[in-house]
Structure 1
Amino acid sequence: MLGGIRIIDFSRVLAGPYCTAMLADLGADVIKVEPPQGDDQRMMGVIRDGESVNFALINRGKKSVCLDLKDPDALDAARKLVATADVVIENFRPGVAARLGIGYDDLRALKPDLVYCSISGFGQKGPLSRRPSYDVIAQAMSGLMSITGAADGPPMLVGDSVADVSAGIFAAFGISTALFHRARTGEGRYLDVAMLDSLIAMMPTALSRYQGQGVAPMRHGNRHALTEPFGTYAARDGHFIVAVANNQLFARLAEAIGRADWATDPRFSSVQSRTANRAEIAAALEAWAADRNVDEVVTTLLAAQVPSSPIWDVAEAVESEHCAQRGVFRPLAHDVFDTLRAPEQPVHFAGSPRGVLTRAPARGADTEAILRDLPGLNDTQRSRLNPGKTAGTPS
């Protein structure tokens, strides 16, 4: 789908690399430019024999070139590399890329139709733009933490790095859109993607509640704020999910749990009235489920066409037959971890086969080959930029 598109990826850790992994899955040629010591993600997360599972999964399908951008020859090589590319992505703090000589204005002069994407915590402008940010800070300041957790408990983090990931997804969306625009007009684009903006854009229910009610929404635990029953409920051996969002589904639920009278009870006649009487509904539902196992509860409710499910842990989700048949994961060869399973970008394009994923690169593994083919570099520069190599040494 993106064959022939070259991306120079100056990003590191998660948001930018997540974006470029998705684009690599679709065939883009992604060249990861790392400092000599490598991306910090190489030493984050689960480490085995010096290798990071996190890095291996997030940097699949890419090539690696190591360049110290404070070295004039390395900067010259990076700029020449950009001149061969379609897209540049970086996630430095605002102003750092320009100081390094790889800002948008610097590189647009070399490649006028360049698509250039900057990812940062708070964006390139605004009173917070110069602040450092990590996923936890974006979660805290977006309002997401304030609506996550039990009603009588503290604000809580979401269980994964959703700010980084959402910014990466929106960046991939933006890059693809900008490439489409360029194909029609010949014009490049500068893209400013903020983690904070991305998380706020992913909270439509909370934003609606705030604007409709005039007060900031707060935590409701594992229950939906605006309807009932909708969320997590207890059975004999664990918890299950019910999602009832209209009158028809509520009537089916009521009959399934032996409360057919609810369907005509004015206290439960609308989403709003059910929310006002949520405690009674939840108590009756959990009383019905108290002497039933989760599997029995879910089977009964699904037979009545009421949306319901168990709560899987990560292992159950990964190992599920459904994920296997959907091709959610693809094998990813690795010297240390044997074969990993990487979650390929999740969009299925009809008529296009799912990709064959390649492993994440070793640090600087492609420096020699890429610089050897890069026009404009002399042998002395190539030799300096390849530690342990001499000019003309074959790969």
Structure 2
Amino acid sequence: MKPRTVLSLEQALSLPYATLRFAQLGWRVIRIEATPGADGLPGDPNRYIGSRLGGDAADDRRSYFVAPNVGKQAIALNLKDARAHELLHRLIDALGVDVFCCNTVPSRYAALGIAPEALRARHPALIWAGISAMGPQHPNAPGYDPVIQAMAGYMEVTGEREGPPMLAGIPIVDLKAGDELYANVMRALVERAETGAGQTIHVSMLQAAASWLITVLPLVDFGCRPDEITRAGNEHRKFIPTNVYPARDGYVYLAIGSDVQWRRLTAIPRFAPVANAVRLTNEGRHAEREAIHRDMAAVTAQASVDELLAELAAATIPATRIYDIRQVRELPALAARLTRTTLPDGREVRMQPMAVDVAGARAALPMAPRYGEHTRAVLAEAGLAGAEIDALAAAGVVAAATGPPAHA
């Protein structure tokens, strides 16, 4: 697929993560941020979250902002002003924009001049894609990952059995919504190649999150027990034993997914004491779930992590030590696939890998842009003269960073 141009009114994480996936493919991604207001710092609030990049206190890119926004350009438009609406149309035409994205609340679409019917009426081949909390039917709902985790039942099924509901360790709803936008834009591009027409795509964070409830939600109509659709700690609700177990010097996670694997596990001399006739089937093991976990922990606590993993690997039992984030990035299966960027002071930052290897994709991406870094260059590319850009900036319709761009 040839490189495309994406214009994205984006902030926070869900949409920046989605458009990062396009930037990794070598596509042009231009992020739009608001012009400075009377209150607060200008642009995406995530710019100001995390540690500073170095000694430059004026740099508006903090550590939390960098990874989702590398490889992009940044412009600032006051879309509350009708003059900026016309600028938006001009940019779509002049830059050959294929995809317009946004993740503001739907109630603001019309006022900002970004409603899908308005943009696609003038640009029928445009693919319009938006992320919101619950879609345009709920136009004022804010799309915050922890709130949607709570609404979608994720917190109810996360945590210890007797403990309180808990959030996941990463913002999985934001990332799920971003992946859905990415996938559906790709689908729309394929269909546009056949029909010539663009599409409107609404990603509901709640609906996207609920689509992952495949192992719990359908059980309600099967008359499930309450414990089947609530918190289970590190256990698997169905396959036993699957859990974290203590070792002399740490923990191991092992997963028994079949009766065959159980027989292989209990054929290991160390684990022979946990076997009995009732436990030969998963149904029987479920009846003795708590006792099995106690018996397993008593066995594993007598050995080191390395000893346990060696014996489990020899019996082809899925198992692993528990890795921290520093260790994860050194895993041989990942270390060579990490993406990278370079900070203004020359330091290299290793970032998350692409989800899937793609031939020709960019492993090293330019540093995330400063606020309004490319406003002047992008508007000039769209045919605006310097004096015209100066007048728009003076009127507060656009905003640009001072000084030369850090990258193209």
TM-score above 0.5: yes
Change (3 A) 1:394 1:204: closer
Secondary structure of the structure 2 residue equivalent to 1:158: coil
Distance in 2 (CA, whole Å) between partners of 1:112 and 1:200 is 31
1:187 to 178, 190, 197: 197
Distance, in Å, in 1 between the alignment partners of 2:74 and 2:180 is 24
Q: Is 1:340 the counterpart of 2:339 in the alignment?
A: no
Question: Aligned match of 1:44 in 42, 49, 58?
Answer: 49
In 2, the alpha carbon distance for the partners of 1:259 and 1:362 equals 57
CA distance in 1, matches of 2:307, 2:167: 32
Deviation at 1:230, TM superposition (A): 0.8
* Identity, % of aligned positions: 30
- Aligned pair in 2 of structure 1 residues 337, 274: CA closer, same or farther (>3 Å)? farther
Could you say what secondary structure the match of 1:145 adopts? coil
**Aligned-residue offset at 1:321:** 3.0
Per-residue Cα deviation, 1:299-333 (whole angstroms, up to 9, x for no partner):
211121100001111111123333213x1x12201
Q: Secondary structure at the match of 2:310?
A: helix
Amino acid at match of 1:340: V
Check the 8 A contact 2:372/2:399 in 1, yes or no.
Answer: no
User: Equivalents in 1 of 2:254, 2:154: separation in Å?
Assistant: 23
Deviation track 1:180-210 (CA, whole Å, cap 9, x = no partner) reads 1111111211111011112111222122433
- 1:394 offset after TM fit, Å? 10
**Aligned pair 1:18/2:17, yes or no?**
yes
Per-residue Cα deviation, 1:54-81 (whole angstroms, up to 9, x for no partner): 2111101111111111233323212211
Match of 2:299 in 1: 288
SS in 2 for 1:119: strand
> Structure 1 residues 259 and 319, CA, compared in 2 at 3 Å: closer, same or farther?
closer
> What SS does structure 2 have at the residue aligned with 1:385?
helix
Against the structure 1 CA distance between its residues 54 and 210, is the aligned structure 2 distance closer, same or farther, given a 3 Å change threshold? same
Query: 1:123 maps to which residue?
Result: 135
Q: Distance in 2 between matches of 1:159 and 1:54?
A: 15
Deviation for aligned residue 1:177: 0.8
Amino acid corresponding to residue 229 of structure 1 in structure 2: P
Aligned partners of 1:75 and 1:394: how far apart in 2?
Answer: 26
1:98 aligns with 2:110: yes
Which position in structure 2 is the counterpart of 1:59? 69
Whether 1:323 aligns to 2:328 is no
Distance 1:361-1:2 versus aligned 2 partners, 3 A rule: farther
Provide the residue aligned with 1:69 in structure 2: 79
The aligned counterpart of 1:382 is: 389
Q: Is the 8 A contact 2:6 2:101 kept in 1?
A: yes
Report the Cα distance in structure 1 between the residues aligned to 2:77 and 2:109, rounded to whole angstroms. 14
| Structure 1 unaligned blocks of 5 or more | none
Q: Which amino acid aligns with 2:340?
A: P
Is structure 2 residue 257 aligned with structure 1 residue 245?
yes
In the TM superposition, what is the alpha-carbon distance from 1:41 to its structure 2 partner? Answer: 1.1
| CA separation of 1:389 and 1:179: change in aligned 2, threshold 3 A | closer
Which residue identity lines up with residue 107 of structure 1 in the other structure?
A: L
**1:262 CA drift (Å):** 6.9
For structure 2, list consecutive stretches of 5 or more residues without a partner in the other structure: 36-41
Alignment of 1:99-114 (within 5 A): 99-114=111-126
Distance across 2 between alignment mates of 1:347 and 1:295:
30
For 1:332 and 1:155, how far apart are their aligned partners in 2? 37
> Deviation at 1:257?
4.6
**Aligned-partner Cα distance in 2 for 1:23–1:210:** 38
Partner of 1:362: 370
In 2: Cα distance, 1:95 partner to 1:69 partner: 14
1:164–1:195 contact (8 Å) kept in structure 2: yes
Note the aligned Cα RMSD (angstroms).
Answer: 2.4
SS in 2 for 1:47: coil
In structure 2, what is the Cα distance between the partners aligned to 1:369 and 1:379? Answer: 10
1:30 partner SS? strand
Q: Quick one: which amino acid aligns to residue 149 of structure 1?
A: G
The CA deviation at 1:169 is 0.8
1:389–1:200 distance in 2 versus 1, CA, 3 Å: closer
> What is the distance in 2 between the residues matched to 1:278 and 1:356?
48
Tell me how far 1:261 sits from its aligned partner.
8.0
Post-superposition offset of 1:142: 0.1
1:348–1:354 CA contact under 8 A, matched in 2: no
**1:24-76 CA deviation, whole Å, 9 max, x = no partner?**
10121101111122211101233344431121111011111111112333232
Change (3 A) 1:386 1:266: same
Amino acid of the residue matched to residue 382 of structure 1?
I
Shift of 1:370: 0.9
- Alpha-carbon distance in structure 2 between the residues aligned to 1:99 and 1:261: 69
Give the distance between the partners of 2:189 and 2:350, measured in 1 at CA: 30
Query: 1:227, 1:272 within 8 Å by CA — same for their partners in 2?
Result: no
Alpha-carbon deviation of 1:14? 0.6
Corresponding residue of 1:170: 180
Aligned pair count?
Answer: 385
Give TM-score scaled by structure 2 length.
0.88
